[in-house]
A and B are shown apart, each in its own frame.
Chain A
Amino acid sequence: MRFAIHKLKKRAINLVSAMSDWAAFIGIILIGGIGSSWYFVSAGTALTTQVTGPWVMWTNEARSDADPYTRAHFARQATLNLSTKVASTFIARTDSDGVRLHSSCEYKINGKDLNASWWSLSVFDASGHLIRNPIDRYAFTSDTVAISPNNEFVITLARSVQPGNWLPTTGAGRLTAVLLVLDGRNSSTINPDEFQEISLPEINKVHCR
């Protein structure tokens, strides 16, 4: 009887050991396959994105010939973006020092008037929702931003009222700044490399509360 129990125990241990090996093997494959896909689609790679300071641009955004990572990224976001043939959408989730943008801090976005027919700079929360504020201001465009005589502009992201170009960020938590740069020329004549020549604004932290 004792021997039979011992034999049964041994068999059970062997079975559990074999199953745990398989479980570990399948786990590694699932984590490796799905995890790497998730990361490549969410964060992008050097093959799919162009990074300039804090600004990230998906180089094949909204194009019919986009790579599967770009296609999956924007399908997951459920956004209606303009193709990179006519526009560039730059997204910043960090400041120029690489620290996550947060509504508890105040930031100055310093830039020169961009060499484009039209541009806009909007601020959202981390999920892409507009931030409620009493003055209903969510973006500045090349039409509405106040530019200094030397063709430079400063946009302030802050919770409390600021002079000049102020974008309120009250209580939003993590922030996302989106810069849309539109080229007014015919799409077939645009060289995508030209967008790289745009001097993108810097995002500098002033202070945090």
Chain B
Amino acid sequence: MNIYMRQVLAWIKSLASINLHVVATAIVSIGILHICATLASPFLVEKSAYVRMKKQLPINEMKILPPVTPTSQPLPFLSADVRYAMCRFSSTEGPITITASLPDKGWTLSIHTPKGDNIYTATGYSSHTTLITLKIVASSNSFSGLTPQSLGLSNKEDPIQILEAKKGFAVLRAPDRGEAYIRETILAMRRAKCFHAKQ
């Protein structure tokens, strides 16, 4: 028997001395800890995007942010290729209405939850302006007002989309095409509104 065979046999013998209960306990414990650590990770984040932006944004009001630069970059990986308008909404005291128009390609309106989930996104087209009206309610069961039809009015406007979220962000992104277009871009961004539906 050569030396390698002896080494292999010695290794197999040493394996037999390992307590399989201990190994199984370790593997199960590692698995449980892995799952707990992964699930808990989003809640252990010291400063989420929502928390970081909270102080800068008034509640239920669309605010156009200054151009993103190295000195005024509110979030990591927030690119300077677009101008941002954001609204921090809270629908706990009543539905929130968000309106925006997306005049061109590259424009987007997205709704994010405090955890960062993107629950709604609309993108613009180069062929036409997309008009968006969203109603954000705290619970889909809550009364969010009478429809135009029930008030005896014809509904000529774009259909209102209803989303369920208690808190979050509305983010309007407008491509920054340079100095020559900035006035036009800001004017289009100012048309975006975020307000309490009772107003």
Contacts and interface: CB of A to CB of B under 8 A. Distances in A.
Interface of A: 25, 28-30, 32-34, 36-38, 40-41, 62-64, 66, 68-69, 71-72, 74-83, 85-87, 117-118, 120, 122, 124, 127-132, 136, 138-144, 176, 178, 180, 182-185, 187
Contacts of B41: 37, 41, 68, 72, 75-76
A69 B184 CA distance: 41
A122 B78 CA distance: 9
B31 A33 contact: yes
A121 B177 CA distance: 14
B37 A136 contact: no
Among B76, B79, B112, the one with the most A-chain Cβ atoms within 10 Å of its Cβ is B79
Interface string B104-135: 01101010100111110111111000000000
A66 B34 CA distance: 18
B32 A85 contact: no
Contacts of B45: 75-76, 78
Given A37-B37, A68-B39, A128-B77, 7 more contacts: A33-B33, A78-B45, A79-B75, A80-B75, A87-B123, A118-B175, A139-B81
Contact of B77 (A72, A77, A85): A77
B170 to A, nearest CB: 11
A28 B39 CA distance: 20
Contacts, number: 182
B169 interface: yes
A85 B117 CA distance: 12
Contact of B68 (A69, A130, A184): A130
Contacts of A87: 108, 121, 123
A105 B82 CA distance: 27
A142 B175 CA distance: 10
A33 B123 CA distance: 41
B81 A122 contact: yes
B71 to A, nearest CB: 8
B116 to A, nearest CB: 5
